Chains A and B, each alone.
Chain A
Amino acid sequence: MAVNGSNAGTAGTTRPGKPTAKYRAKYSAFSLIKHGLTKGDWPRAWRQHELRKHYDVVIIGAGIHGLATAYYLATNHGITNVAIVDKSYVGSGGSGRNTSIVRSNYLTPEGVRFYDRSVKLYEDLSADLNFNIMFGQMGHLTLAHNDSSLRTMRWRAEVNKLEGIDSEVIGPDDIKQIVPYMDTSDQTRYPILGALFHPPGGTVRHDAVNWGYARGADLRGAEIHQQTEVLGITTDRGAVTGVDTSKGHIATGTVVNCTAGWASLINAMVGLKMPLVTHPLQAAVTEPVKKFLNAVVVSGSLHVYVSQTDRGELVFGASTDPYASYSMRGSLEFTEELAGHVLELMPSIAKMRVLRQWAGLCDMTPDFSPIMGFTPVKGYLVDVGWGTYGFKAGPVSGEQMAACIAMQRVPELISSFDLARFAEGRLVGEKGAAAVGH
């Protein structure tokens, strides 16, 4: 294992060239005005580097998980001799394609604690990163259209309360108060019986989070290598020795797989198979209209979730496509189903237009929980199995994976997400009431 205290200590100084004063330019209203007046250029948010021969840690995937891992390796553990490699640009995968919903109202105590930590990190992230991620905690509604989903909502609410999370089951009238456009009458095909209301839930600007972490990691010495594709991982006697990339070989003792939908392809490079299936998740955005929706609305039964951005667009997501695929081309049937269901909830917006649809890749696990930590291959760690909830877990995953790498043991917060649980039949309880729930 390449990373140890001493190594980490020196890692920060091994990198060429200290950040320049200009490079450190801090973002603020003042600096905005200054640049406005002087018409000076802003420094690069993150820099370009020549790929070096050795890094203590190589993180595959410059999405929120990979970038956050690098950021916390540097800030929490002083490990800065780190490369984040990506076959495309920063945030080109799921991190830039998700619907950027943040919440912690999960079903199991371990899930709730984990995602609550993420929400807490998100709450301070703009200040920590000196980059406004626009976290709007407008509140999150998960609708129930039948007894069993209402029961599940209460189950989540009760577990949430015991974990100190603000969640409550509310009735149709309260829902109408929060979302006046919602048809809460009993005249619909699937009347709304109630909802799980989660005030701390909301949305962020996903690109801002990616860029903020990228800038923060870069500022602290980690190197971001875009357009650098991993072609193979070299091992010796069951331990990682390096990574072959499209820009050359890197020697390293620690590789972290943060590639979400593509995780199985990276796993295969070290001969590992995991309970992962890659499904496209479709999303869409409408033309902007004046703000009318002031909460994130989710309906598991109708397989839809929707929120409105500050720009006035409605952002939609649905359940994943029914068959495994690495295609991000988008499919029509998804938008049809989605629109139909959205209009069942809010019939009056039929004349709004869908502007764009796209797909992201989700690495689904059988128990709707991630796979995090060490693997049978020494020095090869995974932060995968993120399915449809990877973005909201980005900060806490980065923090915990960084701790896992630096401490060489699995932090308690992610201990139930180990790979061995499947072979040992210890699936995580989120499967207990699995439904769409973004």
Chain B
Amino acid sequence: MISVPCPWCDERNSAEFRPAGESKKRPDVATTTPEEWRTYLYTKSNLADWVTETWYHRAGCRRYFAIERHTVTNDIRTSRLPAAQIRLKESRG
């Protein structure tokens, strides 16, 4: 059982979380094309390397957050709030 550092709850067993996969930016629905949209829906980098993923702490604080995890060792090197929340914080100073 790997241990996942939640930005709010610290280290917890991975079973407490729902991994939501590689973090992606949602295309602008006004201008998106089928190719772009379905790439967003389906295509993954699936690297054997460090990847940025979104996880949801289902059995804990119920917060979404982003981690950098190595898909070979399962080591996790960073854990932070979702990008949108960071942008909001910055915008509010």
Contact = CB atoms under 8 A, between A and B. Distances in A.
Interface string B70-84: 011110000000000
A275 B35 CA distance: 12
A274 B45 CA distance: 8
Interface string B57-89: 000000000000101111000000000000000
Given A275-B42, A323-B53, A324-B21, A264 B1 contact: no
Nearest to A276: B46
A425 B38 contact: yes
Interface in A317-332: 322-327, 331-332
B34 A275 contact: no
B91 interface: no
B45 A273 contact: yes
Given A323-B14, A331-B1, A366-B41, A264 B46 contact: yes
Nearest to A332: B1
A262 B71 CA distance: 12
A366 B42 contact: yes
B43 A324 contact: no
A15 B42 CA distance: 43
Interface residues of A, number: 24
A277 B44 contact: yes
B78 to A, nearest CB: 16
Number of contact residues on B: which range applies? 20 to 34
Given A333-B1, A423-B34, A324 B18 contact: no
Nearest to B48: A326
B48 to A, nearest CB: 5
B7 interface: no
B46 to A, nearest CB: 4
A164 to B, nearest CB: 33
A268 B41 CA distance: 19
Interface centre among A276, A322, A333, A425 (most CB of B within 10 A): A322
B14 to A, nearest CB: 7
A339 to B, nearest CB: 15
Interface string A255-282: 0000000101100100001111110000
Contacts of A323: 14, 19, 53, 69
Interface string A309-348: 0000000000000111111000111000000000000000
B80 to A, nearest CB: 18
Determine the main DSSP class of B at the interface with A. mixed
A333 B46 contact: no
Nearest to A268: B47
Interface in A362-414: 366
Interface centre among B19, B46, B71 (most CB of A within 10 A): B46
Interface centre among A262, A275, A323, A424 (most CB of B within 10 A): A323
A275 B45 CA distance: 8
Contacts of B51: 324
B44 A273 contact: yes
Contact of A423 (B35, B44, B48, B72): B35
A333 B16 CA distance: 12
B9 interface: no
Interface string B7-46: 0000000110011011000000000001100110111111
Contacts of B47: 264, 268
B64 to A, nearest CB: 15
A268 B53 CA distance: 20
Given A323-B14, A323-B53, A422 B1 contact: no
A322 B58 CA distance: 13
A324 B46 contact: yes
Contact of B38 (A278, A322, A422): A422
B46 A327 contact: no
B2 to A, nearest CB: 8
B71 A326 contact: yes
A277 B46 contact: yes
B43 A274 contact: yes
Nearest to A337: B15
A423 B32 CA distance: 13
B79 to A, nearest CB: 14
A425 B15 contact: no
Contact of A333 (B15, B38, B41): B15
16 contacts: A262-B48, A264-B44, A268-B47, A273-B39, A275-B43, A276-B44, A322-B14, A322-B18, A323-B53, A324-B22, A325-B72, A326-B48, A327-B74, A366-B42, A423-B35, A424-B34
Given A276-B44, A277-B44, 11 more contacts: A264-B45, A265-B48, A273-B45, A276-B46, A277-B46, A324-B44, A325-B74, A327-B72, A332-B1, A333-B1, A425-B34
Interface of A: 262, 264-265, 268, 273-278, 322-327, 331-333, 366, 422-425
Enumerate the 9 nearest inter-chain pairs by beta-carbon distance, A residue then B residue, closest first: A275-B42, A264-B46, A323-B19, A326-B48, A326-B72, A422-B42, A366-B42, A277-B44, A273-B43
